[in-house]
Amino acid sequence: MEIQEIYCPQTMDKCNFIKHHSGLSIYICEMNGFSTTEALFGTKYGSINTMFKTGADKEYTTVPEGIAHFLEHKLFENEDCDAFAQYAKTGANANAYTSFDRTCYLFSCSDNYLESLKILLGFVQDPYFTQETVDKEQGIIGQEIKMTNDNPSWKVLFNMLEAMYHSHPVKIDIAGTVDSIAKIDADLLYKCYNTFYDLHNMVLVLAGNVKTDDVLKVCDEMLKTKENMELDTVFPDESYEIVKKEIYGTLPVGAPIFNIGIKCKPLTGYERLKANMECFIAGSVISDPSAPLYKKLIDAGLINSTFGFEVFEGDGFFTLIFSGESKDPRQVMSYIIDEIESVKAEGLDRELYDSIKKSTYGGAIRESNNVEAVASSLINAFMSGVEPYDQIKVLSEMTYDDVQKALIERFDTKNMLLSVIENKEAL
């Protein structure tokens, strides 16, 4: 079992990578002088992975939406006790999350990290489901789904995705629907667990006050070697064009909130990371509070300080989103379209580009001194199919022309839509 050192020439940081004989990928960043430890144990299994097969399957299996999130909830309980009770004895803070493309189990601590690591590796590899506990969880998650449906920021996003994507499961709530989770049973949970919680499909990350040799001793003791399942996941065919230009919903909000989304062609690996960073810089230059667009919108009384921009991407999807509050979201969208077409023709503000690129690069450098941020960046890299320090590399090599080209190619105003949540009391 070879320990490979990965080095970042820009920051002089380094981490160790180990391909464990069990099949698990392990990243360890020893951060001398830090007193805390952050650990994540993750699998490439999220809400979008509803269609899959293994090397032993002849056909693809399609499972109910929300099952990855459901499985995350259930894995904390085993036959004897739950994992939180075990963590209470070591003093670690533990949690878990399911997103579109991953499920991760994590803890942070100041002491006893090896004991906490044993708990983490133990319960994640020891599923215990019964129909009785599944039935109970359906009620709990059903309530969670209803609560998120009443969250304006959540609803405006998923309405936008519904109006943007024809078939891709990114448009479905991570927790699924009340109807979809009603189809989940113990046998289905075990099938999904045995398929996706294959160590060849998983990663372990530790950062902070850790020693590689000590971590590997625990891994040798705890990891259960299994045959590679040869997992294959697929998504329905998705056209480039959006479904519709506008979608509206109503919830109790003080002012209408909006997501203005641009649907882009999806990418993978390093090209996806590069496009993400280039689009983020381009969108940030356009939407920055010192930029002309922001000043126009503020002077017209159309936005407030909630206005912002983000890149939302993953396996099979890539979206650019302007968001905020406005009395007239349609007018905001019109201003944004005009500004995008203007900077495509005339070029982005070079001075503002330089400032935002330096700020973004500086932020990435500062995160190398944050244990939680380092652990997150390592697991993000694995899940995205890139190397640990590729984000720093992309930012250090990025040019104005790269960003301008990404703006012209990916900010397609003809593939833009408006999602709005209005106050139902005002209608």
Listed residue (105, 141, 111, 109) closest to 126, CA to CA: 105
Specify the 3-state DSSP secondary structure of 266: coil
Listed residue (234, 198, 232, 183) closest to 63, CA to CA: 183
SS (H, E, C) 168-225: CHHHCCCCCCHHHHCCCCHHHHHHHHHHHCCHHHEEEEEEECCCHHHHHHHHHHHCCC
Q: In degrees rounded to 5, what are phi and psi of residue 303?
A: -140, 170
What's the rounded Cα separation, in Å, for the pair 55 and 226?
14
167: region left, alpha or beta (phi > 0 left; psi from -120 to 50 alpha): alpha
Specify the 3-state DSSP secondary structure of 14: strand
Catalytic status, residue 72? yes
What's the rounded Cα separation, in Å, for the pair 345 and 358?
24
Asked if residues 331 and 354 have their Cβ atoms less than 8 Å apart, the reply is: no
Asked if residues 317 and 266 have their Cβ atoms less than 8 Å apart, the reply is: yes
Q: Between 269-287 and 329-346, two packed helices, what is the crossing angle to 10 degrees?
A: 110
- The active-site residue out of 38, 65, 72, 77 is 72
- What would the two tokens of residue 307 be? 């206005």
Question: What is the b/e burial string over 39-62, where b = at least 16 CB atoms within 10 angstroms of the residue's CB?
Answer: bbbbbbbbbbbbebbbeeeeeeee
What's the CA angle centered on 251, arms 245 and 253, to 5 degrees? 100
Q: Give the catalytic positions in this structure.
A: 72
